[in-house]
Amino acid sequence: MDSFVKLTSLSQGRDRIFRTTQYACTLLNYLIHKNDSNKELVSKLKQLESNMSAGRKLFRLGNTVEAVQAARRNVQLSDPILRFCLTIIPLSRAVYFVCDNILWMGAVGLVDVDKEKWNKRCNRYYYFSLIISLSRDVYEIVQMLKEEAQAQKGQWCKSVNHLENNHVRRDFVWTLRVRAEAFLMLLFQSLKSNPPVLLDIVKNLCDLALPLDKLGIYKTNPGVVGLSGLVSSILSILTLTHPALKLRP
């Protein structure tokens, strides 16, 4: 209960609750509509999804300034790769939030905007920020693999050589398979010891399905969109309630 109270007291926490509800409605709506079930329930779910989306846009009105401040802080990082990624990501999200705010003002009638055009702009910047976020995740994995390989002090190479020398088949395909299995084991051990990286990768991959579908790069269906958004929202809530699971810096 304390975690829930703390979550709802944060603007990001309320946004994540609304987001979880929104994509849960999208998924349920797809499942019910697919089975040609209760049409009245489908209508109510669509209305709730729309309300959750509008509420989230209201919560994000101040996020542009917060994103710019995050970019200014990250400029001070010593690692050049992390400095680049963690500066570009919040800046692209800042522009995304600006586009989102314009869409909100158009929805409430404050300004007259081309909804389709601004929606595409919004998704383009969101898509770009996710690509950079995944690039950062790849960099983190590479660093983890280096540390894990050094910690094992050559055991990985010895195990590979042992498998290669003690098996009857020594052709190229077998060697490639052995090395791939050893690499995957090393990767598994690295991610197992660093759950924040694993959670961030899964969350970003789930989020990536949303702009890919809306921009028409890779069309799926509302069921995939709903499931992807729901999983990423739950993971976001998990990192908010358990800060140790959040990828830093």
* pLDDT score at 23: 96
Please compute the mean of the pLDDT values over residues 124-133 and round it to a whole number.
97
Burial label, 35 (beta-carbon count in 10 A; 0-12, 13-18, 19+): exposed
Question: At 174, is the pLDDT very low, low, confident or very high (cuts 50, 70, 90)?
Answer: low
- Structure confidence by residue, pLDDT tens digits, 20-79: 999 999 999 998 876 666 778 888 888 999 889 888 888 787 888 999 999 999 999 999
* pLDDT score at 170: 56
How do the domains of the chain map onto residue ranges? 2-245
Please compute the mean of the pLDDT values over residues 222-233 and round it to a whole number.
95
pTM tops 0.85: yes
